[in-house]
Amino acid sequence: MSTRLDLSKLSLMDALDLAKFVELEAYHRYKMFSTQLGRTGGYDAGSFFATMAENEAKHGRDLAARREALFGDAPAKLSLDDLYDVEAPEMGAPRRGMSTLKAFELGLEAERKAYDFYDQALPGITDPEVRTLFTELRDEETEHVEMLLAEMAKLPPSASEDVEFDLDEAPYL
């Protein structure tokens, strides 16, 4: 997880843009995983990743709306290129036939990684509005972890089983 930015110098607008890009990066990664794995018909790893992509997109839209309400259409100073793997799961993490439980574990790891990013940034943040935003975002990541853990507890025992694919019919990874 990294960013090329000096987080201590972020304005509130920049911080909102950064947070939006964190969500966007995660959205793209989950969408790619969902496409790579495909779906087997039930709630499987590919379906989980599609759900996570939708959640990240919603969070990104919420942040974009908040930014627009505060700053209108002022151009962003940051871009998606300013960060890498802040919340997105590791690129090579999914594998053909992975269990739904393993997909959940990847999601948990990504949410915890985002929590760590915001938590580790806080000591260097001096702008009170940015500090409040980062605290809020960090705490939201805790809520996301708790939601995933609650959903994991509802998974049937079969969710821990890897799925066998016919290599001639499965999407290429």
| pLDDT one-digit tens code per residue, 9-31 | 899 999 999 999 999 999 999 99
pLDDT band at 93 (very low <50, low <70, confident <90, very high): confident
Separation CA 46–CA 99 (nearest Å): 10
Structural domains of the chain in order of their starting residue, each with its CATH number: 10-156 (1.20.1260.10)
Tell me what pLDDT residue 172 has.
52
The answer to whether the pTM exceeds 0.85 is: yes
Q: Cα separation of 110 and 56, whole Å?
A: 11
For residue 130 the two structure tokens come to: 């940015």
* Average pLDDT of the chain to the nearest whole number: 89
Q: Which two tokens stand for residue 32?
A: 């790619």
pLDDT of amino acid 18: 95
Query: What is the reported pLDDT for 171?
Result: 53
pLDDT at residue 89, rounded to an integer: 86
Range with the lowest mean pLDDT among 61-75, 78-92, 126-140? 78-92
Residue 102: what residue type? K
Determine how many CB atoms are found less than 10 A away from the CB of residue 44: 20
pLDDT score recorded for residue 40: 74
Q: Model confidence at 4, in pLDDT bands (50, 70, 90)?
A: confident
Question: In angstroms, how far is CA 83 from the centroid of its own chain?
Answer: 13
Give the model confidence (pLDDT) of 34-69 as tens digits. Answer: 998 887 777 899 999 999 999 999 999 999 999 999
